[in-house]
Structure 1
Amino acid sequence: MSYMLSHLENGWQVDQAILAEEDRLVVIRFGHDWDPQCMKMDETLYGIAERVKNYVVVYVVDISAVPDFNKMYELYDPCTLMFFYRNKHMMIDLGTGNNNKINWAIEDKQEMIDILETIYRGARKGRGLVISPKDYSTKYRY
Structure 2
Amino acid sequence: MGSVFLPHLKSGWHVDQAILSEDERLVIIRFGVDWDKECMLMDELLYSIAEKVKNFAVIYLCDINQVPDFNQMYELYDPMTIMFFFRNKHMMCDFGTGNNNKLNFVLKDKQELIDIIETIYRGARKGKGLVVSPKDYSSIMKNRGGTEI
Alpha-carbon separation, structure 2, partners of 1:51 and 1:99: 25
Alpha-carbon separation, structure 1, partners of 2:108 and 2:8: 20
Alpha-carbon separation, structure 1, partners of 2:31 and 2:83: 8
1:63 matched to 2:67? The reply is: no
Counterpart position of 1:130: 131
Alpha-carbon displacement from aligned partner over 1:77-101 (angstroms, at most 9, x marks no partner): 0000000000000000000000000
Q: Where does the alignment leave 5 or more consecutive residues of structure 2 unmatched? A: 144-149
Counterpart position of 2:102: 101
Alpha-carbon separation, structure 2, partners of 1:127 and 1:52: 20
Alpha-carbon separation, structure 2, partners of 1:19 and 1:8: 13
1:20 matched to 2:21? The reply is: yes
The one-letter code sitting in structure 2 at the alignment partner of 1:23 is E
1:16 deviates by 0.5
1:114 matched to 2:115? The reply is: yes
Alpha-carbon separation, structure 2, partners of 1:24 and 1:108: 22
Alpha-carbon separation, structure 1, partners of 2:63 and 2:36: 11
1:12 deviates by 0.2
Identity rate, percent = 69
Q: RMSD over aligned Cα, in angstroms?
A: 1.3
Output the TM-score relative to the length of structure 1: 0.97
Which portions of structure 1, spanning 4 or more consecutive aligned residues, are displaced by more than 3 angstroms?
none
The one-letter code sitting in structure 1 at the alignment partner of 2:106 is A
Alpha-carbon displacement from aligned partner over 1:15-44 (angstroms, at most 9, x marks no partner): 000011000000000001110100110011
Alpha-carbon displacement from aligned partner over 1:99-140 (angstroms, at most 9, x marks no partner): 00011111210000000000000000000000000001129x
How many positions carry a matched residue from both structures? 141
Alpha-carbon separation, structure 1, partners of 2:120 and 2:5: 24
Task: Trace 1:70-81 onto structure 2 (pairs within 5 A).
Answer: 70-81=71-82
Output the TM-score relative to the length of structure 2: 0.92
The one-letter code sitting in structure 1 at the alignment partner of 2:52 is R
Alpha-carbon separation, structure 1, partners of 2:136 and 2:68: 31
Counterpart position of 1:32: 33
